[in-house]
A and B are shown apart, each in its own frame.
Chain A
Amino acid sequence: MTHSTITIEINDRAYSADVEPRRLLSDFIREDAGLTGTHVGCEHGVCGACTVQLDGAPVRSCLMLAIQADGRSVRTVEGLADDAGLHPLQQAFLDAHGLQCGYCTPGFLMSLEPYIRDADAISEQGIREAISGNICRCTGYQSIVDAVQLAAEKMRLQEDG
C-alpha cells in the first residue's frame, strides 16, 4: 500500500507523518503526534471518547482517516487550557465532580466546548443533546450537566466583567 506524507495542524502546531491511508485520525493524534489526551474506546463511533474538533466542529477521530484530515485543523483536549490555567469547562468538571475515572472526559470536553461557545442559551436539554454521543460509565451524567451549567455561568460572569 502506498504511504503518503500528510500534515495536520493540531492545536495550532503542524504535525507531518508518512502514513498508510488506513491510519485513523485517532491513531495519528496519539501515535504520530504523541498527543495521548485523546482517548480511544470502542473504535467504531459509539462511545465518543475519541471526540476531537475538526475546523471547530466535534467529530469522532476513530471514524475519520488521518488522510481525510490532511491540511485541516484539529483541536484536541490539550488545546483547551492556556497559560492562564484550565479552560473554564475543565475547571467546572473539577469543581462539580464531572468525572471519576476520567477516561471519557476528553471526549466530553471536546463535544461540549463548541456547544458552550455557540449556543444562544444553555439549557439542560441542550447539554444532554450535545453529549448524547458520549458515554460515561462513572458519573450517571448529572454531575456533568451540573459542571456545564457551572462553566456557562462563570463564563457569562466573566463576559459581563
Chain B
Amino acid sequence: MKPAPFDYVRAMHTDQALELLASAGDESKLLAGGQSLIPMLNFRLARPALLIDIGRIGELAYITRQDGTLRIGATTRQAQLERSKLVGEGWPLLARAIGWVAHPQIRSVGTVGGSVAHADPAAELPVACSVLEARMTVAGRSGKREISADDFFVTHLTSAIEADEMLLEIAIPAAPDGAGQSFVEYSRRHGDFALGGAAVVMPLDAEGRCAGVRITLMTAAPVPWRARTAEKLLEGSAPELAMLSAAAEAAASEINPTGDIHGDSSYRKALARTLCLQALTEAAATATPPNATGMDQ
C-alpha cells in the first residue's frame, strides 16, 4: 500500500510542463490533484518513472464564461466548481453532477481536468462533458488542438490525449434556452462509484416536441455512452410518458454493462433503464418551448 519509487518534478507553468512531458516520454505521468492517480500508485497499479506535478499551475485554475460557453481550466479544483455561482446559475446539470463526485475531502483536492482526463466511464464529470457536448483543449509539442467529447473518451481510462500532450481547458456550451436538464445516479452509499446513472438535455421546439435531445448513460460502456438510438426515437415527439419509456428501453437495450460484485450485468441494465426514464421524465418536466422562455430565437 505504498507507491513504488518514482522521480518527481513540479511545473509552475504550462510551457514548463509541456517541455518536461516532451523530454520525459511515456514513462512519465501528470499529477494534478492525484485523487485517482495516488490510489493507483498506492496499489502499484501504476508505476511511472516520473511524476510531473501540474497541481500548482495557477494559470490553469479558472472558471469563466465567454459568449455563452463555460471555460474551466484543467487544474481548477472540483470544490471550486461546486461553489461557483456561474455554474450554479447557468449550468445546472453540471452543478448537479459535481455534488455526486466522491466526498468533500476528495473534491477539495481533485481537479476538474484530472477527472476528465482520467476518463472513467463511472465518473460524473466525463458523463456531464458528454451530454453537454464539451470540447477539450489539449496542448503538445505540435501546438494546441480541440477535441469533442465524443472523440475525447476513447475507452475505459483512456482519452485521446497523446503521451506528450496535456489537457488545458474544458469548454462547455450552455444548453439551448428552455431545455430540460437532468442528472441522476444510483450508488449504494453517496460518494461511492455509481452502479448506474443518466444525464439528459432536452430542448423542445415551438410546438413542445423534442428537438435535439441528448442522453448519456454512466457506467454503461467503456466510455460515457451517448444513447443515440433513443435520442433519434424521441426526435419530433412530444415528451410523454409512453415515448420516454420506449426511449429508456431503447437506451438500455443497446448496452452490455460489465457486472461485478456490486451488481451483475442484467441488474445494471435494468438500473440503466430505470435511471434513464427518471432522467428523461425530470428533464421533460423542466423543459419549456423556446417562445415560452421569453427569449428571442
Residues of A within 8 A of B (CB): 1-2, 4, 20-22, 24, 27, 43-45, 48, 51, 54, 57-60, 62-65, 67-68, 111, 115, 129-130, 132-133
Cβ-defined partner of B41 (8 Å) among A22, A51, A68: A22
List, in ascending order, chain A residues with CB within 8 A of B8's CB. Answer: 2, 4, 21, 65, 67
Q: By the criterion CB–CB under 8 Å, are B34 and A48 in contact?
A: no
Give CA–CA (A45, B246) in the complex, Å.
Answer: 40
List, in ascending order, chain A residues with CB within 8 A of B38's CB. Answer: 24, 45, 62-65
Q: By the criterion CB–CB under 8 Å, are A59 and B105 in contact?
A: yes
Q: By the criterion CB–CB under 8 Å, are A45 and B104 in contact?
A: no
List, in ascending order, chain B residues with CB within 8 A of A67's CB. Answer: 8, 10, 53
Given known contacts A111-B104, A132-B103, A133-B104, A22 and B109 CB-to-CB distance under 8 angstroms: no
Q: By the criterion CB–CB under 8 Å, are B105 and A111 in contact?
A: yes
| Size bin of chain B's contact surface | 20 to 34
Give CA–CA (A57, B80) in the complex, Å.
Answer: 12
For B108, give the chain A residue with the smallest CB separation. A57
Q: Which 3 residue pairs of A and B lie closest in terms of their CB atoms, listed nearest first?
A: A133-B103, A21-B8, A57-B108
List, in ascending order, chain A residues with CB within 8 A of B3's CB. Answer: 22, 24
Contact residues of B between 111 and 168, Cβ < 8 Å to A? none
Give CA–CA (A132, B55) in the complex, Å.
Answer: 25
Cβ-defined partner of A22 (8 Å) among B6, B10, B104, B190: B6
Question: Smallest CB–CB gap between B49 and chain A, Å?
Answer: 10
List, in ascending order, chain A residues with CB within 8 A of B188's CB. Answer: none
Give CA–CA (A131, B162) in the complex, Å.
Answer: 38
Give CA–CA (A60, B104) in the complex, Å.
Answer: 10
Given known contacts A59-B108, A68-B55, A133-B106, A43 and B6 CB-to-CB distance under 8 angstroms: no
Q: List 7 A-B contacts (CB under 8 A).
A: A4-B8, A44-B1, A45-B39, A60-B35, A67-B8, A68-B31, A133-B106
Residues of B within 8 A of A (CB): 1-8, 10, 31, 34-35, 38-39, 41-43, 51, 53, 55, 79, 102-106, 108-109, 189-191
Given known contacts A64-B34, A133-B104, A2 and B39 CB-to-CB distance under 8 angstroms: no
Q: By the criterion CB–CB under 8 Å, are A1 and B79 in contact?
A: no
Given known contacts A1-B7, A132-B190, A133-B191, A21 and B51 CB-to-CB distance under 8 angstroms: yes
At the interface, is chain B mostly helix, strand, loop or mixed?
Answer: loop
Give CA–CA (A48, B3) in the complex, Å.
Answer: 19
List, in ascending order, chain B residues with CB within 8 A of A65's CB. Answer: 8, 31, 34, 38, 51
List, in ascending order, chain B residues with CB within 8 A of A68's CB. Answer: 31, 34, 53, 55
List, in ascending order, chain A residues with CB within 8 A of B105's CB. Answer: 48, 51, 58-60, 111, 133
Give CA–CA (A24, B35) in the complex, Å.
Answer: 13
Question: Smallest CB–CB gap between A137 and chain B, Å?
Answer: 14
Give CA–CA (A65, B7) in the complex, Å.
Answer: 12
Cβ-defined partner of A43 (8 Å) among B42, B104, B109: B42
Question: Smallest CB–CB gap between A57 and chain B, Å?
Answer: 4
Give CA–CA (A133, B41) in the complex, Å.
Answer: 20
List, in ascending order, chain B residues with CB within 8 A of A4's CB. Answer: 8
Residue from the set B2, B3, B5, B103 with the largest chain A CB neighbour count within 10 Å? B103
Q: By the criterion CB–CB under 8 Å, are B2 and A24 in contact?
A: yes
Q: By the criterion CB–CB under 8 Å, are B109 and A54 in contact?
A: yes
Q: By the criterion CB–CB under 8 Å, are B109 and A59 in contact?
A: yes
Residue from the set B5, B39, B53, B104 with the largest chain A CB neighbour count within 10 Å? B104
List, in ascending order, chain B residues with CB within 8 A of A58's CB. Answer: 104-105, 108
Question: Smallest CB–CB gap between A157 and chain B, Å?
Answer: 27
Cβ-defined partner of B39 (8 Å) among A21, A27, A63, A133: A63
**Besides the contacts A57-B108, A133-B191, what 17 more A-B pairs have beta carbons closer than 8 Å?**
A1-B7, A20-B5, A21-B8, A21-B51, A22-B4, A44-B43, A45-B106, A48-B105, A59-B108, A60-B105, A62-B38, A62-B42, A63-B35, A64-B34, A68-B53, A132-B191, A133-B102
List, in ascending order, chain B residues with CB within 8 A of A54's CB. Answer: 108-109
